Amino acid sequence: FIVLTIGPMVSSLYLSFTNYNLFDPPKWIGLDNYTTMFQDERFLQSVGVTVGYVVFGTPLKLAAALAVAMLLNSARKGQGFYRSAFYAPSLIGASVSIAIVWKAMFGDSGPVDQGLSFFGINLGGWVGNPSMTMPMFILLTVWQFGAPMVIFLAGLKQIPADLYEAASMDGAGLVRKFFNITWPMLSPVVFFNLLMETIHAFQIFSSAYIISNGEGGPAGSTLFYTLYLYLRGFSDFRMGYASAMAWLLLI
């Protein structure tokens, strides 16, 4: 823990106050890296792209997870199969292989583009369209709702059944039961999932790197925060600047 986590964190904190290019000794420059960030247009663009992804992608992912968890909470045949099937995409995670497949699916003449063209919708592929890249990434994160779904399902199992029985006797419908029983009883689980998925969304990197060919294009529409951090540190060799970005992300 000290060698692989605490040590690198302390080192990066020091490097964030230096001008360091990986080859020459670090040169102390104080807060220059932090002040430069807010004058860097590409940095501000990366913040905007990432915040937009978090604000729209996280709630949609949690909504899908909760909806499917409520469907799987009732006893039915093949319940174990459905739970495994819906959880399976989360086992793969944000892997390189999934990013490659996703890029092929949404690229020019890909299955998605061909399917939409059949209905007269010609977008010319999502990957090269700046207005469609964000929806593509949001669909990818929503598709991987398995982990929060399992946590929601565990929370639903803890809600006493007699509360729903009493509500049914009083004439409450499904909507009333959800807002008066399910949502209040599930609020700690909702908060936990919201916190964890927000952190996870801010850390998006591998899929953005693969789909954008490591450049953050087109027109900076996939320039996520961590991708720009990587480009600054390992393409431009401005490791001090990248370290400052890392600490701002942590905060």
222-231 per-position pLDDT tens digit: 999 999 999 9
Q: Could you tell me if residue 244 is inside a domain?
A: no
CA quadruple 202, 207, 209, 213: dihedral positive or negative?
negative
Residue 84 class from Cβ within 10 Å (0-12 exposed, 13-18 middle, 19+ buried)?
exposed
Number of domains in the chain: 1
Mean pLDDT of 22-38: 95
Mean of the per-residue pLDDT values for the chain? 91
Q: Could you tell me if residue 218 is inside a domain?
A: yes
Percent of the chain residues past pLDDT 70, beyond the cut: 99
User: Do the beta carbons of residue 161 and residue 182 sit within 8 Å?
Assistant: no
Check whether 138 has a pLDDT greater than 70.
Answer: yes
| Residue among 126, 138, 136, 140 nearest 54 (CA) | 138
Mean pLDDT of 153-175: 92
Q: How confident is the model at residue 21 (pLDDT cuts 50, 70, 90)?
A: very high
Q: Could you tell me if residue 5 is inside a domain?
A: no
Q: Could you tell me if residue 99 is inside a domain?
A: yes
Check whether 75 has a pLDDT greater than 80.
Answer: no
Long-range contacts of 120-129 (CB under 8 A, 24+ apart): 127/103, 127/211, 128/218, 129/218
Radius of gyration of the CA atoms of the chain, in A: 22
Check whether 157 has a pLDDT greater than 70.
Answer: yes
pLDDT at residue 93, as a whole number = 65
Query: What is the C-alpha separation between 158 and 14, in angstroms, rounded?
Result: 47
Check whether 57 has a pLDDT greater than 90.
Answer: yes
Q: Could you tell me if residue 245 is inside a domain?
A: no
Q: Could you tell me if residue 8 is inside a domain?
A: no
Q: Could you tell me if residue 222 is inside a domain?
A: yes
Structural domain boundaries enclosing 115: 49-226
Mean pLDDT of 163-188: 92
Per-residue tokens: 139: 């669909």
Check whether 125 has a pLDDT greater than 80.
Answer: no
Q: Could you tell me if residue 133 is inside a domain?
A: yes
Check whether 111 has a pLDDT greater than 80.
Answer: yes
**Per-residue burial over 109-120, b = 16 or more CB atoms within 10 Å of its CB, e = otherwise:** ebebbeebeeee
Report the CATH number that the domain containing residue 85 is assigned in CATH. Answer: 1.10.3720.10
Contacts of residue 232, Cβ cutoff 8 Å, sequence gap at least 6: 238, 241, 242, 245
